[in-house]
Amino acid sequence: MKTWFTQDHEWIRVDGDIATVGITNHAQEQLGDLVFVELPEVGRTVAKGDAAVVVESVKAASDVYAPVDGEITQVNDAVAGTPELVNSGAESDGWLWKMKLADPSQLDGLMDANAYAAMIA
């Protein structure tokens, strides 16, 4: 599975036509300790750039944006009850939602790991 990154610090990992989305480790480090995650409703359709999730930390509240168009098929209920999972595993167990891709060609506009690392350097 390949992982892409956005300029807004989301990651998206695609397996077939289902993508898993979360925030990057860099993003969670900038936010600090998360205290609340508001997940989207399953079945909701999102467009690229739509605010899909709200994460709140001790420092600030931030929107997490949909990196591509699609329909939300699953949410990670574990992070709603234990927001610190995002801090401890932002790019693994702390994923936020899964979605069915509407237009896989939108992935072409996203960054690979090297480009993202260069952006945050």
DSSP 30-61: HH-SEEEEEPPPTT-EE-TT-EEEEEEESS-E
The answer to whether the predicted template modeling score (pTM) of the entire model surpasses 0.85 is yes
Neighbouring residues of 60: CB distance < 8 A, sequence distance ≥ 6? 31
What is the tens place of the pLDDT at every residue in 8-46? 999 999 999 999 999 999 999 999 999 999 999 999 999
Q: Does domain 2-104 have CATH number 2.40.50.100?
A: yes
Q: Where do the structural domains in the chain lie, given as residue ranges?
A: 2-104
The pLDDT tens digits of the residues spanning 37-82 come to 999 999 999 999 999 999 999 999 999 999 999 999 999 999 999 9
Please give the C-alpha separations between residue 117 and each of 9, 30, 60, 63, in angstroms, as whole numbers. Answer: 11, 15, 24, 21
